[in-house]
Structure 1
Amino acid sequence: GGGTSPGSDKTLPSSPSAFPPLAVPTSSRVALILNSSAVSPGDRRSHWSSQHHSPHFQLSQCKQEVTRAPAELSSDGVRAEVGVESGLHVWEVTWNPEHRGSHAVIGISRQDCPLQDSGYKVLVGGDSLSWGWELQTNQLWHGGETLACFPKETDAPLRIPERVQLVLDADAGTLGFAVHGSFLGVAFRGLPPGVELFPAVSSVRGGAQIVLRYLNGTTRNPPALKALCGLSILQNLGQQGQNQVDKLPLPPLLQHYLLSSF
């Protein structure tokens, strides 16, 4: 397939330490969902659609992985099987940086976003029905135009690592992204309310393998006080202290809750 120019000489290395300084303050609702345990990997919201994809994408038997077949002068997309109309939801997209090439885009689409076109171009964000983040250039796309670079505080495009979380707040109409546990902020605002929205990707790289995983979601209701207290305890313990939960002066039931919920 085409679009295989790596362009890695223009990007900064993607060590985990590059991202925490770019993290932005976030709501307790988002912090809670990003720190919660993932739902079962067999959840249907982790499936790519067997109908809504370019003919150059092949689905695995479990539907969680797609592979783009070698194809010249073609841009190809796929969207998830299940969309959401409300609530806050997080998916993880796994895509090896060595197998992205140019025009490697992840984002959100409406039901009928175009998923195949001739030439090498951005499909997710290439029209008014989708919003995309082009991973090599870090540019945001919507309506066929580049809007800005994301994250904003970088001098050169960051080399985005293999795993990226999409954070969609369908109630607020926002889409953000998280990397290495750092929420990088809201990339898009003004997504349409009450409309089914789907994770989507587009690629021009032959052999690209892309995995979708639904991690968690919540309604528009405020988080439970118990969950907020649990998150606060773990945040205060820090990464190093989280294996000391059994030493906290808490009943075994609460210790189990802290260990099993986050």
Structure 2
Amino acid sequence: MGLTLSVWMSGMTDAGRASSSSALHTLAVPASSRLSVMLHSSPVGAGDARSHWSSSHCSPHFLLSPGGEEATRTPVEQSSDGVRAEKGVSSGLHLWEVLWSPAHRGSHAVVGVSGDNCPLQASGYNALLGGDLQSWGWELGTNQLWHGGQSLRRYPDVRTTTTQGVGGARPEAGSKTGPGSAVEIPERVLLVLDADAGTLGYVVDGCFLGVAFQDLPRGVKLFPAVSSVRGGATIRLRYLNGTTRDPPALMALCSLTIRRSLGPHRKTLTNTLPLPPVLQQYLLPNH
């Protein structure tokens, strides 16, 4: 069966290979096998507690939905406001989805992680997340990375030559930001936190953009967080999945290879694979 499948896949590789039309495609860097498996895995249930914003760790100018998955900033002038997730992590590789419409971001729309003592409200308009040593944030409008109250660099780099990703990766030393205007970031942004390696990165339009921050404190709980200055900004959080520092299982790696070969049409092509129905079902996307 393995030989039959290999021959079948070799004939399907070119047909199944998708080319991304995203402007971010040229800025993507290879992800680690752990992250790649996670990105192609089904998410955990929508009711997971790690999908909730914290009602006790947010600015008074943020209102939460009854389930806690959505946070909306009220119209208030001269105020920067933040909210962090209810649950944090101190180990493992984890993936969250943040949905934030570009039309409702305004200036200083920042997405990242924080410790449990990060300030969540301040006067004036600024990048609140990343404004201290307890938080790390990516400002979506300008693409600037913030930490310790300083703008560190633009992210993503115009060209990053890193050959590894979060979950066993470090960015190339001396990587520089190129010239040009900021890249437009769509509504859906994925946070990739490797608490074991102490790194934070982002996935946008299916493209892993590399390590944004490294040397995050290890063994300390970190929480997904956002900060905003725009009245009416609505931000949704969802925990997708996570894994330990152990290597991915062989079955997961094999299914990843098959899914990549099938490309975006795998939902309609899976039932043509020379595999038992139970394995075909395992390969189907569930999200």
TM norm structure 2: 0.84
Which amino acid in 2 is paired with 1:138? N
Which amino acid in 2 is paired with 1:212? L
Which amino acid in 2 is paired with 1:81? E
Residues in 2 aligned to 1:120 and 1:246: alpha-carbon distance in whole angstroms: 54
Q: Which residue of 2 aligns with 1:230?
A: 255
Aligned length: 248
Q: CA deviation at 1:253?
A: 1.6
Q: Which residue of 2 aligns with 1:3?
A: none
Residues in 2 aligned to 1:126 and 1:16: alpha-carbon distance in whole angstroms: 34
Structure 1 position 188 matched with structure 2 position 193: no
Match of 2:272 among 242, 247, 250: 247
- Structure 1: stretches of 5+ with no match in the other structure: 1-14
Cα deviations across residues 135-183 of structure 1 (Å, max 9, x unaligned)? Answer: 0000000000011100110621011100100000000100000011111
TM norm structure 1: 0.92
Q: Which residue of 1 aligns with 2:123?
A: 118
Residues in 2 aligned to 1:242 and 1:183: alpha-carbon distance in whole angstroms: 23
Which amino acid in 2 is paired with 1:123? L
- Contact 1:78/1:202 (8 A) holds in 2: yes
Q: Which residue of 2 aligns with 1:12?
A: none
- Contact 1:64/1:212 (8 A) holds in 2: yes
Which amino acid in 1 is paired with 2:250? L
Which amino acid in 2 is paired with 1:96? S
Match of 1:212 among 220, 237, 252: 237
Larger radius of gyration: 2
Q: Which residue of 2 aligns with 1:109?
A: 114
Q: CA deviation at 1:240?
A: 2.8
- Contact 1:29/1:222 (8 A) holds in 2: yes
Cα deviations across residues 87-131 of structure 1 (Å, max 9, x unaligned)? Answer: 000001001101111110000000110000000011110000000
- Contact 2:106/2:229 (8 A) holds in 1: yes
- Contact 1:89/1:168 (8 A) holds in 2: yes
Which amino acid in 1 is paired with 2:85? A
Q: Which residue of 2 aligns with 1:40?
A: 45
* Structure-to-structure mapping, 1:76-95, within 5 angstroms: 76-95=81-100
Q: In terms of mean alpha carbon deviation, does 246-255 or 196-205 score higher?
A: 246-255
Q: Which residue of 2 aligns with 1:56?
A: 61
Distance change >3 Å, CA 134–CA 16, structure 1 → 2: farther
Match of 2:33 among 8, 28, 31: 28
Q: CA deviation at 1:236?
A: 1.2
- Contact 1:234/1:242 (8 A) holds in 2: no
Residues in 1 aligned to 2:246 and 2:285: alpha-carbon distance in whole angstroms: 22
Residues in 2 aligned to 1:223 and 1:99: alpha-carbon distance in whole angstroms: 38
- Structure 2: stretches of 5+ with no match in the other structure: 1-19, 159-177
Which amino acid in 2 is paired with 1:66? A
What SS does the corresponding residue of 2:80 show, helix, strand or coil?
Answer: strand
Identity rate of aligned residues, in percent?
65
Residues in 1 aligned to 2:21 and 2:222: alpha-carbon distance in whole angstroms: 30
- Contact 1:64/1:213 (8 A) holds in 2: yes
Q: Which residue of 2 aligns with 1:66?
A: 71
Cα deviations across residues 20-41 of structure 1 (Å, max 9, x unaligned)? Answer: 2211011110111111111111
Q: CA deviation at 1:241?
A: 4.2
Match of 2:132 among 127, 131, 148: 127
